[in-house]
Amino acid sequence: EVQLVESGGGLVQAGGSLRLSCAASGLSFGDYVMGWFRQAPGKEREGVSCSASADGSKYYSNSVKGRFTISSDNAKNMVYLQMNNLKPEDTGVYYCAAERDSGVYYACVHGMDHWGKGTLVTVSS
């Protein structure tokens, strides 16, 4: 059974940084696309950043490109999202997700099969 557990959310001022972590179990990183999604209050969930360790491909949404960085530690089955220069519009619940045998762009845009419970990020102005 695939399990994803996020951590690292919190309250930060605009311009600050946070690093989210996702501990994954029950899967082999080489077979999966891993990603981060977020859902802001009153809005639909959106793909923020996704990556595939099998070929190193990565996707970033336009709203976070240049500010967020996705990375992974395959030995530890961990996925990270480094978020810099945070803005109030980055506020939301951030979810770690995994999808087997998919393309990075497709999975990040259309969603994935496996989800964590989320961690709340609040950016104050």
pLDDT, one tens digit per residue, over 43-102 is 999 999 999 988 899 999 999 999 999 999 999 999 999 999 999 999 999 999 999 988
pLDDT at 30 over 90: no
Residues 113-121: what's their mean pLDDT? 97
Residues 104-125: what's their mean pLDDT? 95
Residues 8-24: what's their mean pLDDT? 98
Q: What is the mean pLDDT of the chain?
A: 96
Radius of gyration of the chain (CA): 13
Spatial CB neighbours of 79, under 8 Å, sequence gap ≥ 6: 21, 22, 24, 34, 36, 51, 70, 71, 72, 96
With beta carbons less than 8 A apart as the criterion, state whether 50 and 104 touch.
yes
CA distance 51 to 71: 8
Backbone phi and psi for residue 46, each to the nearest 5 degrees, phi listed first: -130, 150
